[in-house]
Every structure is written in structure tokens, then in C-alpha cells.
Amino acid sequence: MKLLFLACLNPKTGNHTTAERIRSYIESAGHTCELRDAREFQSPADVVNLVSEHPKFEAALAIHLFKAGRLLMDIEIPFGVIFGGTDINEDVKVEQKRVVMEQVLLKARFAVAFTDKLKEEAELFLVSQSSKIYVQPQGIQTDVTEKFCWTEFLRSSEWHCENLLNVLVIIGPKIDPVLSAEVETVVKRTAGVFLAQERCQQELHAAMKRCFAVVNSSVSEGMSAAILEAIDLGVPVLARNIPGNAAVVQHEVTGLLYSSPQEFVHQSQRLLSDHELRERVVRNGKLYVEERHGVKQERETYQRLVDTLH
């Protein structure tokens, strides 16, 4: 079976990594899966034209009901969708987007949510389609390269030279130009905080391994692969206490949660001073990821769901 897979494919982002992982599952089951960036298409008509090409696509899949799923509304082949955090955390707040997402969910043969909470929210805000929404946490498999070096961040600053653990390095692509400019302005006047360009997954994992902790400060998350990857690598996590993060980080068990800048500082200091706490969250986190986020279960789930598109 030949499938079209639409997702937002900003290079070296969690979305891209997730899409590539799911594509590999589909192809390992003997299917052909063409992964395309949803931003290539202006309207559903563009996708209709694509799927009619020879050899014709027989099914489709999309990550994000609004960003990508809406582009599948006019195709005559069956499709499935995967919720992104933006779907439920942000897009449902806009009535026009919410209506489109309902239509996508009604037409989709199946939908996948990363957490039980995300499924509950989908059922609350969208037309109830509980029977077709499956819960499948993201599968995590980390891979580290030894080529990464921190030299570029160790600039001459008395504050972080005295205590390198107090350095904060922000790594990632510039997705939002306005937000990126704001961050750059703040960083320039803040000692001990540095910006770094995005890295390939292996280099990013190597960077994580060299950190005392990984911080997630997002105000909107579906399921953060970066959090799960850090936990799998044995690196403690400090995450903002929002539903998407709290679904994978149990406070003082698999990581630490915070709700304000002051609480972030407090929890960071605890992690620095309490070695027993650090060892406990690392140990429990590793067991949690192994039990709940294995790639074997994820692969089997997507292969089974794709078979329903025949």
C-alpha cells in the first residue's frame, strides 16, 4: 500500500523526528510511505491533485488535525490522523479552527493521542469520537554521538566560570521569528545564558548527557520528546507544570515540576544539593520510559492502525 504522510517538517524538530520514526514503522511493515511537508500545500485541492498521480496513493496519514489534517478533507482515500499538542492546547480556542478539526476527526478512520489527558480534552472540545481515538505514547530510542563539544559556550564570564552548573544553554531552531528575536534580545543582556543552533538528534543527545539537567519551559505541550529523551539518557528534568508535561513527569518521582520563576530556582537548587533526590528521579525516570515509551509497542500500534486503511 502506498501512503501519503503529511506533517510540519521543520528540520531538527520534535515533529520531524516523530514523523520520521512513524514513517519507518510503516515502511518496515512493507508499505510505501511518502513523507511530505504540509507547508508545501496551499489547499486541500493541491493534495487531491497529488494523490491522483500515478502510481496513486491508497491511504494517507497526518500529524496535527488543523495544520495537516485539514488538507486531507477532499481526498477520496481513507486516512488517519495524529493529534499534536497545538491541536488541543491552542487551535480549539479558535472557533474556525475547531470546526475544521471536528470535520477532520469525523472523516478520519482513526486518530491517535499521545496521552489519556489529550484524548479526554479532544472528547471534551470536539465532536465525541471516542471509539476512534487511540492512546499511544511516543516511543523513545536515544542515540548519542561523542563528537559534540561545549567549547563555543564557555565564554569569559566570572559568574559561570566560578560555577559552570549555572550555565543555561538554549538549543533549537528559530521557528517563530518574533519570539526568536525577543529571546535573543534577553539573552544578550543576561550573563550565563547562551543560544545555540539546532543540532542533529545524536548531537543533541550528547549535549543532554553533558548537562546537569534538561529544562522544559513550554506553556503548551502535547508530549515532549525532549523530556522523554533526557529521562532515557539518565538526565534529570525540570519541566513547567502544564498538562502535557505533567502527563510524563511525576513530581519528585520521575522529574521536577515548577509553576513560576521562583519555583524553578527553588527546584533547581534542590536538585543541585539533594543527591538522593537526583538519583531517585533518574532511576525512576529510566524505568518509566522503558515501561511506557518503548518503540516496540509504538511500532505495533501504528502498523495495526495503518492496516485499517486498506
Q: How far apart are alpha carbons 132 and 118 in whole angstroms?
A: 14
Superfamily of domain 2-139+294-307: Glycogen Phosphorylase B; (3.40.50.2000)
pLDDT in tens, 122-150: 888 887 777 899 999 998 878 776 555 55
- Which residue reads 492496516 in cell numbers? 307
| pLDDT of amino acid 30 | 96
Q: How far apart are alpha carbons 280 and 231 in whole angstroms?
A: 12
> What SS3 state is found at 79?
strand
Q: How large a percentage of the chain has pLDDT more than 90?
A: 55
pTM summary value: 0.81
pLDDT in tens, 220-277: 887 888 999 999 999 999 999 998 899 899 999 999 999 998 899 899 889 989 999 9
pLDDT in tens, 89-100: 889 889 999 999
Contacts of 267 (CB under 8 A, 6+ apart): 238, 256, 257, 258
- Which segment of 19-23, 117-121, 275-279 scores lowest on mean pLDDT? 117-121
**Given a cut of 60, is residue 156 above it in pLDDT?**
no
Which band of pLDDT confidence, cut at 50, 70 and 90, is reported for residue 85? confident
Higher pLDDT, 53 or 58: 58
| pLDDT of amino acid 103 | 94
Q: How far apart are alpha carbons 65 and 25 in whole angstroms?
A: 21
Which band of pLDDT confidence, cut at 50, 70 and 90, is reported for residue 196? confident
Parts of the chain belonging to CATH 3.40.50.2000 = 2-139+294-307, 151-292
Residue 239 phi, psi (nearest 5): -130, 145
Superfamily of domain 151-292: Glycogen Phosphorylase B; (3.40.50.2000)
Q: How far apart are alpha carbons 266 and 262 in whole angstroms?
A: 6
Cα distances from 89 to residues 55, 107, 118, 161, 179, in angstroms, run 38, 22, 9, 40, 18
Cα distances from 104 to residues 64, 70, 90, 113, in angstroms, run 10, 6, 17, 14
Q: How far apart are alpha carbons 116 and 133 in whole angstroms?
A: 10
**Given a cut of 60, is residue 158 above it in pLDDT?**
no
Contacts of 230 (CB under 8 A, 6+ apart): 208, 214, 236, 237
Q: What is the CA radius of gyration of the chain?
A: 21
Mean of pLDDT over the chain? 88
Higher pLDDT, 55 or 109: 109
Which band of pLDDT confidence, cut at 50, 70 and 90, is reported for residue 109? very high
| pLDDT of amino acid 152 | 43
